[in-house]
Amino acid sequence: MTHVSLTGLKKSYDGKKNVIEQVDLQLQQGEFFVLVGPSGCGKSTILRMIAGLEPITDGELFVNGKRMNDAPPNKRDLSMVFQNYALYPHLNVEQNITFGLHTKKISREEQRRRCQEAADMLGLADYLKRKPRELSGGQRQRVALARAIVTQAPLCLMDEPLSNLDAKLRTRMRSEIRQIQRKLGITMIYVTHDQTEAMTMADRMMILHEGQAMQIGKPLDIYNHPANTFVASFIGSPAMNVMEADVSPSGIVLSPHCTVPNPMKGNVKAASKNVQVGIRPEHILFSAPEQADAVVEVVNTEVLGTETLITFILDNAKEQWIARWNGQWQFSVGDRIPIRFDSDAIHLFSKENGRILWAANDGQPNQTAREVLR
Amino acid sequence: MNDARDLQPVPSQKSLPKRNLFAFLEGWLYLLPSIILFGVFVFYPMFRTIYLSFFLADQMGPFEFVGLENYQYILSSDSFQSSVKATILFVLYTVPAGILLALFLALLTNEKIKGIGIFRTLFSSTMGMSVAASSVIWMFMYNPSIGVFSRIAEWLGFPAIQWLQDPDYALLAVSLSTVWMNAGFAYLIILGGLQNIDTHLYENAKVAGVSYLYQLRRITLPMLSPTLFFIVTVSFINAFQTFGQIDILTKGGPVESTNVIVYSIYKDAFINNDVGSASAQAVILFFCVLLLTALQFKLGERKVHYQ
Amino acid sequence: MSGQLLPSSLSLNNYLEVFQKVPLLTYLLNSFVTSAIVMIGQLLVSSLAAFAFVFMKFKGRDFVFFLFISTMMIPWEATMVPNFMTIQSLGWTNSYLGLTIPFFALAFGTFLLRQHFKTIPQELYEASQVAGISRLRFFWNVILPVSRSSLITLGIYSFLTNWNMYLWPLLVTNTESARTVQIGLKQLQTQEIASDWGIVMAGVVIVILPTLLLLFAGQKKLQKGLTQGAIK
């Protein structure tokens, strides 16, 4: 059942330039949806329009089938968690958690019960009488969560709630938030700039870039089938290698000394065409010398323990590639090593607009790609 | 999850302008007390003063329109000229000396030394002393027979000076007391400004091994410039508006040597009952302050370094 | 007091006598009441205006802000004559009304509080909007408590300034029952000057004691608060 629906949502501050272009989105009841993109892409603006903190310039917002464009925030039946938590410094934890519940005509007793329940769920029970400044960052974060939970609103909006926490705590809160959301069955719209958060938490996600929706889908689908070079390099860490190359019927020319066989077996007619090749680091493999596509020069290695990142160059020193191999590999700078590209994982993108032309890993070239290449 | 959860009735499309109107009214409501008070006690009297300056008027109100005659009269009167002279001299005596003194004391007490708090309290204490009380204290000190100044002069073998009764010294004497009175506030502001400077800057200077004077010139003064700019502006405006110490110490005398402009306005309006002339002087005072502020902002914009 | 540098004997006689020479208790009470009223009035009026400037967007806001700035350019002394006439025609001379109401609106106080309100995260406001708290409630229950230290700073400043005010009480009070302590000091000084400096000095000490204590108590706050309000 559709819970939140955005149709043709637009935002403009000066009436001329749109900072949000035509966003269409249907959220299912109980879905965990992530809006992800680099800072300034407009993801928070979308969230704030849904919350009613920013007026909607154009397009429509429906919640449970009712048009909500002009409703004030408190009439939209949602809760919100802010990046800096927005805790009231002069109120203690309990007062912060129950802040505003009286406007919903909830009795004192019920307020206390809900507060206790949320505090238990989040391990805050011992801190109810403390002021926010006496709490650690993680505890403050939990208070903000608790405040969202006690409203029992069916929709929760979170604006970069984890960005002020250290890396370890962030990882833990990721799964905690996810578990709470599942347990309460609420619909979540979650804004982040961190692609790892998006990948690990989302049921579905939308990648935004300069106010435009780049792609909507399940995390793995997006990872495996990026719609364009922006998504390809934004999702995944380290990012997908995207380099210019020439495609001929016989092969893809990555550099004067490196040509990989053309994986588009059916497309023999494809003429020489300047495209961008994308290949994820894990699809560049160490190879026996006789099977190698190229022998490359190592520029840097980062040994992470279970895996190793190797930065190398083919011929052009300005184009640095990254490969990711399992295990611990020791190379010195300047070592020359044989590598092989997994031709089943090659993506081809248009050079003009960055859109996907062809991807190998779904078994067959998609329709549009074939047309473009013809 | 309850799908059919009942939401509040959804406002129609038309409600947006209504909400804007409401925000408009609510915003003005919060400002209304200030606006009314400023209107009645700042803007209305300002225009009224300008209006009155074109009339012969007493405390009951205007009775004859005279155009620019009030201005012609005061600009040609010796009394006003001496008043302008006294005001300018007073400003020149008090403002630079006061700020330098406050800056010096603030630099002195900005170090973190045990017991420095006592000195900070002491130096800022004149801010808590009213002009009336301070003036009385200074009056005692200037007393020719028992005041401390005369006794020192006597001890050093100089003739006793009638500080407040001698036209050559009265303005200086009043200025000296004013520097003392205003030092507390300026000191407090400058000390606050000094303490706002990031200590890392000094730590870095220490590592670089530069001298104290170099630090003062390249770190302290530039970083302090917004504070200094503020205190200079405020001091200038305050100096133009000085009244209390004049009223108590000299009453504008002797021979009008301390008859600064505000005292002159007061005398004309409330003692000589010549409201027209007082208003004309008030208008001149207003434009002087306006010019000064505008000038300082113009200069300040370029020179002052804001973080 | 004769001409000696050090007094020959210490006694509290002068302090007792000063209360007999002038009705100092009445003056002290008048000063205290007017200063307290002005303080509360300034805090309320300034904080309301500062709140509107920081947390509301509406037509004409920037214009009003400009008006507020312009009041700082008008020297109060340039407007005292019509102000005096206004108070006279309202029948507010020799009353607390005349001594207090004209000072309720304070551009400096508004700027100081505005400066502090601007440091309050906008998210606090948004969170209260999501929670459905009205603006006035938000102002009263969140903004004022959160800004306590700025309000105290401004309060001390305004109490000090009003306790020490000289020219305006001189104009609008002329009866013993309405006078403030500063005018009382002038009266004491004029009437006692020939006879006894000791009594006058006792009066001075009594008058400056409350403000000095207030200043010592709030020195740190004032120093921080005034600098913040002054420099953008």
Averaged pLDDT, groups of 10, chain C, 232 residues long: 51 80 88 95 95 88 88 87 92 92 92 88 90 89 90 90 91 89 88 74 89 86 70 48
Q: Which residues of A62-93 are buried (b: 16+ CB within 10 A; e: fewer)?
A: bbbeeebbbbbbbbbbbbbbbbbbbbbebbbb
pLDDT of residue A315: 82
Instruction: Provide the 8-state DSSP code for B39.
Output: I
pLDDT of residue C9: 62
For residue B235 the two structure tokens come to: 């001091």
B76 and B31 within one domain: no
Residue-range domains of chain C with CATH: 13-230 (1.10.3720.10)
A 314-333 residues with CB below 8 A of C?
Answer: none
pLDDT of residue B11: 44
B156 vs A370: which has the higher pLDDT: B156
B216 and B131 within one domain: yes
Sign of the CA dihedral running B28, B30, B31, B37: positive
CB contact under 8 A, C131 and A151: yes
Position B80 pLDDT exceeds 50: yes
The answer to whether C21 and C192 are in contact (CB under 8 A) is yes
Asked if the structure places residue B61 within a domain, the reply is no
The answer to whether C201 and B140 are in contact (CB under 8 A) is yes
Tell me the ipTM for this assembly: 0.88
CB contact under 8 A, A99 and C124: no
CB contact under 8 A, C132 and A100: yes
Helix (H) or strand (E) holding A275: strand A273-279
B37 in C contact zone (CB under 8 Å): yes
B174 and B32 within one domain: no
Position B185 pLDDT exceeds 50: yes
CB contact under 8 A, C216 and B247: no
Residues of chain B contacting A185 with CB distance shorter than 8 Å: 1
Distance in angstroms (rounded) separating the CA atoms of residues B98 and B112: 24
C8 in B contact zone (CB under 8 Å): no
For residue B119 the two structure tokens come to: 């000195």
pLDDT of residue A156: 94
Distance in angstroms (rounded) separating the CA atoms of residues A358 and A369: 5
B107 in C contact zone (CB under 8 Å): no
B104 vs B19: which has the higher pLDDT: B104
Residues of chain C contacting B41 with CB distance shorter than 8 Å: 79, 83, 86, 101-102, 105
Local confidence pLDDT in tens for the 374 residues of chain A = 789 999 999 999 888 889 999 999 999 999 999 999 998 899 999 999 999 988 999 999 999 989 999 888 888 889 999 998 889 988 999 999 998 888 888 899 999 999 999 999 899 999 999 999 999 989 999 999 999 999 999 999 999 999 888 989 999 999 999 999 999 999 999 999 999 999 999 999 999 999 999 999 999 999 999 999 999 999 998 999 998 888 877 788 888 888 888 777 655 444 447 788 899 999 999 988 888 888 999 999 999 989 999 999 988 878 899 999 999 999 999 999 999 988 888 888 888 888 888 877 654 444 443 333 33
Residue-range domains of chain A with CATH: 2-232 (3.40.50.300), 233-373 (2.40.50.140)
Task: Calculate how close chain B gets to C223, using CA atoms only, in Å.
Answer: 5
Q: Are strands A294-303 and A336-341 parallel, antiparallel or unpaired?
A: antiparallel
Task: Calculate how close chain B gets to A273, using CA atoms only, in Å.
Answer: 52
Mutate to test the interface with C, among B30, B53, B151 (most CBs of C within 10 A): B30
pLDDT of residue C3: 46
Position B7 pLDDT exceeds 50: no
Sign of the CA dihedral running A61, A67, A72, A75: negative
The backbone torsions φ and ψ at residue A328, rounded to the nearest 5 degrees and listed phi first, read -110, 120
pLDDT of residue B303: 55
B171 and B239 within one domain: yes
Distance in angstroms (rounded) separating the CA atoms of residues A67 and A60: 7
Asked if the structure places residue B187 within a domain, the reply is yes
A83 in C contact zone (CB under 8 Å): yes
Query: Domain holding B206: CATH number?
Result: 1.10.3720.10
Amino acid A313 reads I
CB contact under 8 A, A74 and C126: no
pLDDT of residue A281: 93
CB contact under 8 A, A86 and C124: yes
Q: How many structural domains does chain B have?
A: 2
B121 and B231 within one domain: yes
Asked if the structure places residue B9 within a domain, the reply is no
Q: In A, what residues contact B, Cβ < 8 A?
A: 1, 29-30, 55, 63-64, 66-72, 75-77, 154, 185-186
Distance in angstroms (rounded) separating the CA atoms of residues C206 and A149: 59
Please report all neighbours of B, defined by 3+ CB atom pairs within 8 A: A, C
B234 and B144 within one domain: yes
- Percent of chain B's residues with pLDDT above 70: 91
Lowest-confidence pick of A71-75, A209-213, B36-40, B146-150: B146-150
B231 and B117 within one domain: yes
pLDDT of residue A237: 87
B87 and B35 within one domain: no
Asked if the structure places residue B235 within a domain, the reply is yes
B35 and B165 within one domain: no
Residues of chain A contacting C128 with CB distance shorter than 8 Å: 99-100
B73 and B42 within one domain: no
CB contact under 8 A, C197 and B192: no
CB contact under 8 A, B188 and C219: yes
Q: Which of C123, C131, C146 is nearest residue A100 as measured by Cβ atoms?
A: C131
B43 and B93 within one domain: no
Distance in angstroms (rounded) separating the CA atoms of residues C93 and C87: 6
Closest C-alpha to C207, from C165, C167, C155, C148: C165
Asked if the structure places residue B180 within a domain, the reply is yes
Q: What own/partner pairs with CB < 8 Å and gap ≥ 24 does A256-263 have?
A: A256/A315, A257/A294, A257/A314, A257/A315, A258/A293, A258/A294, A258/A314, A258/A315, A259/A293, A260/A293, A260/A341, A260/A343, A260/A346, A261/A343, A263/A343, A263/A344, A263/A346, A263/A360
The backbone torsions φ and ψ at residue A172, rounded to the nearest 5 degrees and listed phi first, read -70, -40
pLDDT bracket for residue B43 (50, 70, 90): very high
Domain that holds residue B25: 15-52
B175 and B131 within one domain: yes
CB contact under 8 A, C230 and B227: yes
CB contact under 8 A, A90 and C146: yes
Asked if the structure places residue B1 within a domain, the reply is no
Q: What is the pLDDT of residues B102-128, one digit of tens each?
A: 999 999 998 878 888 888 888 988 888
CB contact under 8 A, A82 and C123: yes
Asked if the structure places residue B162 within a domain, the reply is yes
